[in-house]
């Protein structure tokens, strides 16, 4: 499958009290055409900063990309100006967020908000944009679409608002949809409907999806491949079945073990002890070492490098060092 997006050795930093704090440390992954890639990890692992870096959405913050490349089709995004990025955002790469009210303008009617990007990116007249907006609303399962165009976001339920945001995101036929925790704020039943909708649209519109979530149940349901992040680094990458069947990195194992399983007899779930480290005060060596139950002495001294396995999987962990280049200890 052809690669749509290639993120390579991406480094993003923020400035606080005149000090640069690096949040992403050489993040590398790719998304193929028509693929759903899950980006997982606890809060603070760098998932959302990765998606904001791809969109270069740093306005009002001190964030900036300090190194690396983001290749989207034949375009290098890290060197693009803000005006060039505005043409790409919404048209070629669209994003949906956890809380629709952060993207919807509360004082603008749904119709105006939906039609604006359609007019801008697709160059349609008002009448054509209105027809296009109605057809998109129907596509995302919104009943009485022409009436909804005249309503304000607060008049709709949370699930409906999320559908409107998805409608806005897909309205200009993007090739890549970035969904950042798209269902976290919703009830379980609505959650399932929205995930079904994203999956259906991904297939019918032939979009690639970068799904950012801390919910491994959502990953198992939706994704083809998974990238696990910890402390601003990619620590494991695998096909979704392989990842759940045989996780390699102790952090991935911890995440999977902390998900309740049907028929489980335990009173308490296994959780990963401790917290994600403060990016301005990272431990020496492997950043997961203070929480890792399999840590070796070297883990506290040196950071492990990425090891690529035969089947295209990768993992950064000292436990697999003997598998590098077929060296056995
Ligand atoms: S490198 Fe060491 S501390 Fe880090 S995850 Fe692997 S075993 Fe644990």
pLDDT tens-digit readout, 77-116: 999 999 999 999 988 999 988 777 777 888 999 999 999 9
269 vs 154, which has greater pLDDT? 154
CA 49–ligand 1 middle distance (angstroms): 24
Which atom of ligand 1 is closest in space to residue 235's alpha carbon? 5
Task: Work out the percent of the chain whose per-residue pLDDT is above 90.
Answer: 64
Q: Measured from the CA of 292, which atom of ligand 1 is nearest?
A: 8
Residue 275 DSSP code: -
Which has more confidence, 233 or 273?
A: 233
* Residue from 274, 282, 304 whose mutation best tests the ligand 1 pocket (most atoms within 8 A of CB): 304
Atom of ligand 1 at shortest distance to CA of 287? Answer: 4
How many alpha carbons fall within 13 Å on the CB side of residue 154? 4
| 38 Cα–ligand 1 center, Å | 22
Burial state string for 36-49 with b = 16 or more CB within 10 A and e = fewer than 16 = bbbbbbbebbbbbb
With a cut of 80, say whether residue 260 has pLDDT above it. Answer: no
pTM of the complete model: 0.90
pLDDT over 50 (residue 303): yes
Q: Which residues, at least 6 apart from 81, have a Cβ–Cβ distance to it below 8 Å?
A: none
- Residue count of the chain, please give it: 329
- Residue 320 CA to ligand 1 centre (angstroms): 9
pLDDT in tens, 70-79: 999 999 999 9
Distance CA 152, CA 106 (A): 7
Residue 299 Cα to ligand 1 midpoint, Å, equals: 6
Taking the CA of residue 294 as reference, the ligand 1 atom at the shortest distance is 7
**Higher-scoring residue by pLDDT: 104, 250:** 250
Q: Given a cut of 70, is residue 269 above it in pLDDT?
A: no
**H helix runs in the chain, sequence order:** 47-55, 82-88, 110-122, 126-139, 145-148, 158-170, 188-204, 216-222, 240-245, 250-257
Pocket residues: Cβ below 6 A from ligand 1: 249-250, 286, 288-289, 292, 294-296, 299, 304, 317-319
pLDDT for 266 beyond 70: no
- The pLDDT-based confidence of 162 (bands split at 50, 70, 90) is confident
Q: Whose CA is nearest to atom 1 of ligand 1?
A: 317
What's residue 265's pLDDT? 60
Q: Tell me: the pLDDT tens digits for 194-209?
A: 888 888 889 988 899 9
Q: What is the 325 CA–ligand 1 centroid distance (Å)?
A: 19
> By C-alpha distance, which of 266, 203, 255 is closest to 227?
255
Determine the residue of 299, 301, 306, 314 to mutate for testing ligand 1's pocket, defined as the one with the most ligand atoms within 8 A of the Cβ atom: 299
Reading the block at residue 67, the tokens are 């190194």
Average pLDDT over residues 167-194: 85
Distance 22 CA to ligand 1 centre (A): 21
Q: 221 alpha carbon to ligand 1 midpoint, in Å? A: 28
CA separation for the pair 98, 161 (Å, rounded):
11
Q: In whole angstroms, what is the distance from residue 111 CA to residue 142 CA? A: 13
């Amino acid at each position: 499958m052809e690669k749509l997006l290639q993120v390579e050795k991406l480094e993003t930093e923020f400035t606080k009290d005149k000090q640069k704090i690096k949040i992403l440390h050489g993040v590398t992954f790719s998304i193929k055409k028509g693929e759903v890639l899950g980006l997982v990890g606890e809060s603070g692992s760098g998932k959302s900063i990765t998606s904001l870096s791809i969109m270069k959405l740093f306005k009002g913050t001190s964030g900036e990309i300090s190194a690396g490349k983001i290749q989207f089709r034949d375009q290098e995004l890290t060197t693009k100006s803000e005006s060039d990025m505005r043409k790409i955002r919404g048209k070629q790469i669209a994003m949906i967020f956890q809380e629709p009210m952060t993207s919807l303008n509360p004082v603008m009617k749904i119709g105006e908000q939906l039609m604006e990007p359609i007019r801008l990116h697709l160059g349609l007249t008002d009448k054509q944009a209105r027809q296009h907006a109605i057809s998109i609303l129907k596509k995302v399962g919104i009943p009485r679409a022409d009436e909804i165009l005249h309503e304000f976001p607060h008049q709709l339920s949370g699930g409906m608002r999320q559908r409107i945001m998805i409608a806005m995101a897909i309205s200009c036929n993007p090739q890549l949809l970035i969904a950042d925790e798209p269902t976290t704020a919703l009830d379980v039943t609505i959650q399932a409907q929205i995930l079904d909708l994203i999956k259906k649209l991904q297939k019918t519109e032939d979009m690639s999806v970068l799904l950012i979530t801390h919910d491994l149940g959502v990953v198992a349901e939706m994704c083809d491949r998974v990238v696990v992040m910890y402390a601003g680094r990619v620590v494991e990458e695998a096909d979704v079945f392989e990842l759940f069947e045989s996780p390699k990195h102790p952090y991935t194992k911890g995440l999977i073990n902390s998900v309740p399983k049907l028929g489980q007899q335990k009173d308490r779930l296994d959780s990963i002890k401790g917290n994600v480290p403060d990016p301005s005060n990272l431990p020496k060596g492997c950043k997961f070492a203070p929480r890792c139950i399999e840590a070796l002495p070297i883990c506290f001294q040196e950071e492990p490098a990425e090891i690529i396995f035969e089947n295209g999987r990768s993992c950064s962990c000292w436990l697999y060092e003997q598998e590098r280049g077929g060296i056995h200890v």
